[in-house]
Chains A and B, each alone.
Chain A
Amino acid sequence: MAPPIVGRVARKEMLQFVRDGRARWAGIIVAVLLGVALLSGWHHVSAAAAEQAVAQAATRTSWLKQPPKNPHSAAHYGIYAFKPQSWLGAVDSGVQPYVGVAALLEAHVQNEYRYRPAADRSAAQRFGDFTAAMVMQVLVPLMIVLLAFGTIVSEREDGTWRQLQATGVRLRSVLIGKALGVSAGVAAICIPASLVAALILTLWAPPGVTGADPGRFIALTLIYVLWCAVWLGATLLVSSVARSSRTALVTLLAVWMVSTLAAPRLAADVAAWRHRTPTQAEFQEALNLDLSDATTRNARLQAKRQAVLAQYGVSTVEELPINFSGVSLQEGEEHANEVFDKHFGGLYDTFDRQNALVRRAGWLAPALALRSSSMGLSGTDWFQHRHFATAAETYRRDLQRLLNHDVAINQKPGQTYLADTSFWANVPDFTYVAPPTADVLGRQAGSIAVLAVWAFILFAVAAVVIDRRSATAGVA
């Protein structure tokens, strides 16, 4: 049972906020901005999801409606993969504006995702998307600072701290009471907002979005609660040790500035310096060099020819019951796939390593941990783009295998082989399943631990410091 003093202090803090015009206005502004951000995020995701669904259906129709043609021509015709929208992209749009939306799945080539939305937007885009995540990451910490920077230090300045000590209450209880009071103020804004968000997103979940799982939403809420706790802990700690409320405020604002503005950029710079991203030209050149490596390709083809001949117990390609051109096409694909895995895999691993470094830097600046897990849980980080791209690429490879197999079986030497229109339906539709919530959560465990440990340490230190300082407390 908490001592009654805790409740009384918390009540006094809350009353103070309600009566303080600054706090009231800050709260109202943040709440309104949060609402606007959520609504527009929801609107954007709904529109984009509808567009994606229409296009994905249309590309399927185009595929099915193909006239009779050779399956390899169809392989060149290809099927488009359109990036689906993530349900919680409405809360945190993450890297969505900076990754392409469409890739053609065709023969011989692993295409990059083209058309980054940001390239079609004004330069204001680079100041950031106005999302609920941005409000929670940038503005809510400031609100916590504003509500709480003076909560202990100004009692010292006003001389009320000494009186409080004289009453014999445990200062730690006062600290807890103040923490609860400030939390109630923040909760008064964030809880309704998150309830409204949950309601909107559940009731009007845009059809065709991925990752629409309450588990993700709950985890996302949890990390933001931890985030608020980190800031509350930091603010109370600074307020307990600062010599004046002005110092407390300036210190906290500086911490905010470094953690929100400088840290992500610095961490990204360092990560790019440690794990260099190749330029487009370098990448393309290395890729083309391996693709056009005729020696390896011919050796592979030779080996495959021997294997197939042995399999059918014949000595020449002409005697084979199947058409070797289909086998040869597929062998070319297999060679290209290895090259793609090496180069695209290498490039994507570089991005992964850069992002992992930034995540690890979260131990120094928890804002980095929060940002990456917020995007991760929202399904809008690089990892989940790669997951989608990998799924689409796997589909492309299966598609090629199926078509080349058909060429091998049905094409007769010296004849033109055209597959029937009905044949195209043998190709299964491309359906994408987002990684399960458990996987996503598992990936974010480290970041969640960072936030929890930071919150715990800050509160613990504040609790220790407040008792230590109690002996010498006085107006600085």
Chain B
Amino acid sequence: MTRVWRRIAAHEWRIMRTDGLVWPLALLLATTVAWGLYSGLQSRTVVMAGITSAQSDESQRYSRLQEQLARRDAAIARGDSQIPADPRSASTLAGRTGSRAAVLPPTPTALLSVGQSDLLPSALRVSSEPREQMLAAAEIENPHRLLDGRFDLSFVVVYLLPLVVITLAFNLLAGEREHGTLALLLAQPVSLTQVVSAKVVVRFGFVLAVSLAMVGAGVLIAGLGEGPAGAGWRLAGWTVTVLVYVAFWFAVSLLMASRGWSSATTALATAAVWLAAVVVIPSLTNLIINATYPVPSRVELVQATREASDSASTRGSVLLAQFFEDHPEMAPVVAPGQPAAPNFAATRVAVASEVARMTEPVARRYDEQLARQQQAASWFKFLSPALLAREALDDFAGTGPHRHADFRAQVDRFHATWLEYFNPRIVQRAALASFDDVPAFTYTEESAGRVLGRAGTALTALALLAGLCGLVGLRRLRTYPLTHSI
């Protein structure tokens, strides 16, 4: 940086400071950032409340079970004739009574973006109930609010920050040219690139300083909460995303400014790019993804499950016999000539396993189609910088679709383990030695490398786009018309 460049930058800052528009704009930006943070904080509180009550529900159920066990032990000690049923029996614990809360704890940076956390539940209840039913749980929310989306920081960054950038930058050159001062300025020993870069850097610094200072203050006041570790890199990644996204919009503004249009036309053209990138393309992308990889509504799955369970229920006794053929080790030992006592729990297990087996192809078709759709979405996001930025912001806040999908996959696996653990015990009418033997779920956080890799791809694409727009803009400056002819 030369002294001249610094002088231009300082002068530019002096002009900006005295401009009547800049401070109201800064105030607006600061207010929206504050509102966005507040909104994110509210949302995190709601998610935490859901998690806490799911966990306290579980511990209440287990303390009731403990009391039952104590009563039973007392009855046995007293030698009562009526002994209460054992609450540790596998069939009791596998059902709703012993169900475990599987929770996705918010990350320390969750307040930076609401993401999908208002739509997808952060607490699921795992028991022997069918997988589809377990995964269908949803958080309560007014559907109109889900439709509108939240006024969170992601919204402020993705939608509003670019508009602030455009307002500050549409007049990079056209104004000076229209006033005739540009030619005069370039009569000095400076290049056009130096002038433009100084102007951009001052504005860039201004936008970042205002928004990041607000976010920093907000985070300090609100605190990051007691989430899983990773506050440092998540916060850093989020900040870099904002930086790159803002840089992208300055690059677009530079590109538009270098066309040599009037300031009004430049403003309109940049606004049109914003409209396309932030509003039209994401929504069109949504349309295209849904049209190319439509995930059939769950209506079909519901009906398939129902038919499978009808068919399995009618074959209950046959299925049970088959089940014992497959698992001879669990078959009841019956004295010759004596009929076996009916084992309803075993029939239920056999029927449920059969239903799961029969619906598995339909469920798998859904999951595969969903995966294909996500795959398509991961390509289509490159069409819009807003989609790229949103994904990276949500990823760093830990509220994006990927972390939720990971959580659901882990819960799904845990559910399978659960069935594997309990089914044989139910059939054998076994009781667990202790309540602590009931499998418990803990979410294993995605590794930082995986999140960084994913968000990094989006960020790199965004940075490349920004670099491309900036370079083309700078090149165009060489042939920029310096004087204004009406």
Which residues of chain A have C-beta atoms less than 8 A from B296's C-beta? 51
Q: Are B263 and A95 in contact (CB under 8 A)?
A: no
A62 adjacent to B310 (CB under 8 Å): yes
Closest A residue by C-beta to B402: A123
B398 at the interface (CB under 8 A from A): no
B291-316, CB < 8 A from A: 291, 294-303, 306-307, 310, 314
Asked whether, in the complex, the Cβ of B50 is within 8 Å of the Cβ of A114, the reply is no
Given A62-B306, A98-B147, CB of A55 within 8 Å of CB of B299: yes
The CA of A62 and the CA of B313, in the complex, are separated in Å by: 13
Which of A40, A269, A279 has its CB near the most chain B CB atoms (within 10 A)? A279
Q: Which of A33, A115, A277, A350 has most chain B Cβ within 10 Å?
A: A115
Cβ of A282 within 8 Å of any chain B Cβ, yes or no, is yes
Which B residues lie within 8 Å of A97 (CB)?
A: 147
Q: Is B430 engaged at the interface, CB distance under 8 Å to the other chain?
A: no
Q: In this complex, what residue of A is CB-closest to B138?
A: A116
Whether A122 lies near B286 (C-beta < 8 A) is yes
Kindly state whether residue A264 has any CB partner on chain B within 8 Å: yes
A262 CB contact (under 8 Å) in B139, B151, B391: B151
Instruction: Please give me the residue from chain A that is nearest to B46 by CB atom.
Output: A279
What is the distance, in angstroms, from A451's C-beta to the closest C-beta of chain B? 19
Closest CB-CB distance, A252 to chain B, in whole Å? 11
A272 contacts the other chain (CB 8 A) = yes
Least Cβ–Cβ distance between A374 and chain B, in angstroms: 12
Chain B residues whose CB sits within 8 angstroms of the CB of A36 once the complex forms:
287
Binds B, one of A126-134, A298-306, A437-445: A126-134
Q: Is the CB of A116 within 8 A of B142?
A: no
How far is A120 from B373 in the complex, measured between Cα atoms in Å? Answer: 9
CA distance A348 to B260 in the complex (A): 56
- Interface pair B140/A277, CB less than 8 Å apart: yes
Q: Name B391's contact: one of A40, A44, A123 (CB within 8 Å).
A: A123
Known contacts A59-B303, A280-B121, A127 near B286 by CB under 8 Å: yes
B interface residues, how many (CB within 8 angstroms): 80
Min Cβ gap A74→B in Å is 12
**Which residues of A sit under 8 angstroms from B298, Cβ to Cβ?**
101-102, 114-115, 120
**How many residues of chain A have a CB within 8 Å of chain B?**
83
Per the bound structure, the CA–CA distance linking A99 and B138 in Å amounts to: 10
* Residues from chain A with Cβ under 8 Å of B144 in the complex: 95, 268, 351, 354-355, 358, 381-382
Given the complex, which residues of A lie within 8 Å of B142, measured CB to CB?
268, 271-272, 277, 350-351, 354-355, 382
Our pick among A117, A264, A281 for the contact of B297 (Cβ within 8 Å) is: A117
Query: A474 near B: Cβ within 8 Å?
Result: no
A123 touches B283 (CB 8 A): no
Complex CA distance for A112 and B386, rounded to whole angstroms = 34
Cβ of B123 and Cβ of A246 under 8 Å apart?
no
Checking A33, A67, A95, A355 against B146 with a beta-carbon cut-off of 8 angstroms, the contacting residue is A95
Contact A122 B373 (CB under 8 A): yes
Contact flags A10-35 to B (C-beta < 8 A → 1, else 0): 00000000000010000000000100
Give CA–CA (A256, B377) in the complex, Å: 29
Q: Of B39, B264, B300, which is within 8 A of A249 by CB?
A: B264
Residues of B within 8 A of A257 (CB): 163
Q: B387 an interface residue at 8 Å Cβ cutoff?
A: yes
Distance (Å) between the CB of B136 and the closest chain A CB? 4
CB distance from A422 to the nearest CB of B (A): 18
Smallest CB gap from B158: residue in A = A127
Contacts of A123 in B (CB 8 A): 115-116, 377, 387, 390-391, 394, 400-401
Chain A 251-267 against B: per-residue CB contact (8 Å), 1 yes, 0 no?
00100010001101111
- Is A181 close to B, CB under 8 A? no
CA distance A281 to B137 in the complex (A): 11
Q: Are A281's CB and B377's CB within 8 A?
A: no
The smallest beta-carbon distance between B299 and chain A, in angstroms, is 4
Please name 14 pairs of A and B residues whose Cβ atoms are closer than 8 Å in the assembled complex, sorted by A: A58-B307, A98-B141, A118-B119, A122-B401, A123-B116, A123-B394, A129-B287, A253-B271, A257-B163, A269-B39, A279-B49, A280-B139, A351-B144, A354-B142
- Other A-B pairs, 5, CB within 8 Å; known A37-B287, A351-B143: A121-B290, A123-B394, A124-B282, A250-B167, A285-B53
CB-based closest 5 A-B pairs: A122-B377, A281-B53, A127-B282, A115-B298, A98-B143
